[in-house]
Amino acid sequence: MTTYQKGSRAERELIQYFSEKGYSVIRAAGSGVSSLSPDLLLFKHGAQYAIESKAHEKTSLQIKKDQFEGMRHWQENTGITSLIAWRRNRLGWRFIPIHLFEENEKSYSFPWKKADLIGKKLEEFI
């Protein structure tokens, strides 16, 4: 399975889950291709979220600077809360606000141990 296929499958999983919970969900055109917009937009009774989904098994999530800064710009420009949704097989999803990521030389990063402690699980997100 390619990285793109894995990412698309993860996005579809989130779309189905949030749709079943009553959210209106939009998957951005070009999702996974550009850093111009987040993967998903969620809306429900005034709650608004921009989600960048990542399905990675490593113990630290690295996001390229241009993609991360695109998410930060999106949040600043729209006022919509932006989150990174990180899924690891058998460990589930964690939702992390973008302001918690640490800047490195070429990327922004977040360790799984910290995500597991403070990131919201999928069932807690609602």
pLDDT of residue 8: 84
pLDDT of residue 9: 87
Instruction: Give the whole-angstrom CA distance, residue 22 versus residue 74.
Output: 24
11 token code pair: 């996005």
Taking alpha carbons only, the member of 122, 113, 115 closest to residue 98 is 115
pLDDT of residue 2: 63
pLDDT of residue 4: 66
Domain boundaries, the chain: 3-125
pLDDT of residue 62: 96
CATH value of 3-125 in 3.10.105.10, 3.40.50.300, 3.40.1350.10, 1.10.443.10: 3.40.1350.10
- Helix/strand/coil (H, E, C) string of 12-23? HHHHHHHHHCCC
Kindly give the confidence (pLDDT) of every residue in the chain, 126 residues in length, as a single tens digit, with 9 standing for 90 and above.
666 666 788 899 999 999 999 999 999 865 555 557 899 999 999 999 999 999 999 999 999 999 999 999 999 999 999 999 999 999 999 999 999 999 999 999 999 999 999 999 999 876
